[in-house]
Chains A and B, each alone.
Chain A
C-alpha cells in the first residue's frame, strides 16, 4: 500500500511530465477503442444485413452446380426442390429462389441481369417481396433496388422488356412492370437484377417446381438426400465478408499498434530516464530502508499508474465519443457505396464490455511490462553507487 501511496505522490509531484504521458496514452487508448468499436459495428451491421436480407438466418441450400461468383453456372443450376424442404416452404421458413440470366434494354441499351424468382409471400428474407403484385397493366410485376433503378434510369410504373432463355435454350421475351423500388444496403440483392414472382419465372423458363437456391430460417440438419443439392451454412456464405473484416481488423490493429507503441515508448522513455536521472533518489530510498525489490516495485507502479490514470482519463474523454458513435453513428461518404459492402449510410459503433474490458486489460498488462522492463537495471545497483548517482 505504501508503494502505491508513494508512487501516487511521485506522479503528482512530477506534474506536467506525468500529464503529457497520460494524455498521449489516453488518446491512443480512445482511438484504439473507437477504431475497434467501428470495425465491430461494421462487422455486426454487415453480418446482420447479409444474414437477414441476402441469405436467411439458417443459411441456404444451393443447387450443386451453382457458384454465386460464376455467372456461367447459372444456366444449369436448377432442380426440383429437395423433399426435405417442402414442409418448410409451406411453413414459410424456407424460400426457394430461381435464378436465371436475362437481358433488359433500358433506354434501348442492352444490359445483362439476373432474373430472380421468389414467392411474394415469403418471410425468410427481409425483402419487400409482398410488393411484387400485378398492377393495372396486368404485366409481370418486378421489384428492383434503388441502385439498379439509378443506374438504369428506371422508375415505378416503367415497363421493361426482359429477354431470357428457357430450359431448352430458346430465347423468349416479355414485358415486365416495375412495381416497387426497394432501398437496401445489400448490393448483392440490388445491382443488376430484378425480382419477379417465382411461379412466373418458373413458367417463363419452363422450370416448374424448380429453384437454384433455397434460403432457410433455421440451419439445415444433416445433408440433403438429393445429390443435386448442397447445404451452405452461414460460415460458408459469409466467408468473403469475414475475410474482409479480418483484413480490416488487421489493418486497423497495425495502425493502433503503432499509435500505442508511441505511447508506450513515452512511458518506457520516462522510466529509462527516471532510472538514469533518479539514481540518487533510489540510493536515498535504500538508505532510508527500502529494499531493491521495493524500489523496483515503486518505479514499476509509478509507470503502471500512468496507464491507470490514462484509462480513467480515456473513459472520461472517450465516453461522449463512444455514446455518439453508438447512437448517432458515423456517416459514410457516398463513395463507399462502390465498395460493395452492405453497410448503409451510417456505421454504428459497438462498444460492449468485452471490447472495453478486454482492451483495457491487454493494454494495462503491456503498460505494466513496459514499466517493469527498464527497472530491472535497478536490481544491479548497489546503494552506494546509487547514492553517488553512478
Chain B
C-alpha cells in the first residue's frame, strides 16, 4: 500500500442472510482513498454506502475481500483490536448525531479522550479547542436535549475531531439539518480537512454535501458506478 493510501479495499463483498437466501449489499468493491481526501460515497438508498462505511470503520466485517485501513488488514483484527483501532485513528459522525443523552456537550466531546487516557487538564484544553472549532463553546454545559439539530451535529463533529483522528467517517451528516445548518456544518468540515489534513469519507445522497466533495464515488446496487474527482 502506498504511503499516502489510507483506505484500500479489494473485491469487497457483503452479503446479508434474508429468509432462506441472502441479499448482496456490496458486490466486489475496489476502492483506494488517500490521506487528506474529502470523499463521498454517493448513491440512492440501498446502494451500499453505509455498509461500505461501516466496513471501513471496522464496525462490520465483509463476507469476501480485504480492507486495509491505515495499513491494518481489518480482517486480522480481533474485536478488542478493532475497537482500539477505532479509538486511536477514527472519528464517526452519524445522521442522528448519537450524542450520549445524559452527558453535557463537553462530556460528549471529552469521551474519546477518556478512552485514550488523556489527563483531565489535557482533556479540558482539547475539548474546548474542538468546541471552538465548531463554534459551540458557549454550549459546553448543555445536554443534548437542550441543543438544536445543528448544534447537536456540531457537537458530534467536535467529538469526532477532538482527538485529531486520521480518518473521519460521516454517515448522512446533514440528513436531519436544514440548508443553513448543513452548509455551516460542511464548511466546518472542509476547514478542518484543510487545516488538520484529516481524511473525510461521507456516505450521502444529499446534494448539498455532494457540492462540497472533492471526490465523488457513486454506488449503485452495491457496485461502484463512477469515481469522479473535481
Contact = CB atoms under 8 A, between A and B. Distances in A.
A289 B77 CA distance: 14
A9 B111 CA distance: 11
Nearest to A13: B102
Interface in B89-109: 92, 94, 96, 98, 100-103, 107
Given A288-B112, A291-B83, A383 B102 contact: no
B84 interface: yes
A284 interface: yes
Interface stretch (B27-35, B53-61, B174-182): B53-61
Contacts of A281: 98, 100-101
B154 to A, nearest CB: 17
B59 A5 contact: no
A111 interface: no
Of A2, A286, A287, most buried by chain B (CB within 10 Å of CB) is A287
Interface in A1-44: 2, 5-6, 9-10, 12-14
Given A288-B92, A384-B54, A2 B103 contact: no
Contacts of A14: 102
A182 interface: no
A2 B100 contact: no
Contact of B59 (A6, A10, A287): A287
A116 interface: no
A2 B94 CA distance: 24
Contacts of A285: 100
Interface string B61-95: 00000000000000000011001101110001010
Contacts of A382: 59-60
A10 B98 contact: no
Contact of A9 (B60, B88, B103, B112): B103
A10 B114 contact: no
B87 A10 contact: no
B86 A287 contact: yes
A289 B81 CA distance: 9
Interface in A238-286: 280-281, 283-286
Contacts of A289: 83-84, 86-88, 112, 115
A280 B98 contact: yes
B198 to A, nearest CB: 16
Contacts, number: 66
Nearest to B171: A387
B121 to A, nearest CB: 16
B60 A383 contact: yes
Contacts of A387: 59, 94, 98
Count chain B CB atoms within 10 A of each CB in A2, A10, A13 and give the residue with the most: A13
A147 interface: no
Given A2-B115, A383-B59, A383-B60, A288 B86 contact: yes
| Most B-side CB within 10 Å, residue of A10, A14, A288, A387 | A288
Given A2-B115, A9-B107, A287 B57 contact: yes
B94 A288 contact: no
A2, A280, A291, A293 — most chain B CB neighbours (10 Å): A291
A283 B86 contact: no
B167 to A, nearest CB: 13
Contacts of A292: 79
Nearest to B79: A291
B32 to A, nearest CB: 23
A284 B79 CA distance: 15
B103 A13 contact: yes
Contacts of B54: 383-384
A382 B86 CA distance: 15
A120 B54 CA distance: 94
A290 interface: yes
Nearest to A12: B102
Nearest to A289: B87
B112 A286 contact: no
Contacts of B83: 286, 289-291, 294
A290 B98 CA distance: 15
Contacts of A293: 80
A284 B101 CA distance: 11
Given A10-B102, A384-B54, A288 B59 contact: no
Nearest to A11: B102
B115 A290 contact: yes
Nearest to A14: B102
A190 to B, nearest CB: 64
30 contacts: A9-B102, A9-B103, A12-B102, A13-B101, A13-B143, A14-B102, A280-B98, A281-B98, A283-B98, A284-B100, A285-B100, A287-B59, A287-B86, A287-B98, A288-B86, A288-B87, A288-B111, A288-B112, A288-B115, A289-B83, A289-B84, A289-B86, A289-B88, A289-B112, A291-B83, A294-B83, A382-B59, A382-B60, A384-B54, A384-B60
Given A2-B115, A289-B115, 20 more contacts: A5-B114, A9-B102, A13-B103, A280-B98, A281-B98, A281-B101, A284-B94, A284-B100, A286-B59, A287-B59, A288-B87, A288-B111, A288-B112, A288-B159, A289-B84, A289-B87, A290-B83, A291-B83, A383-B60, A384-B60
Pairs A-B, 9 closest by C-beta atoms: A13-B102, A289-B87, A383-B59, A284-B98, A291-B83, A287-B92, A289-B115, A291-B80, A384-B60
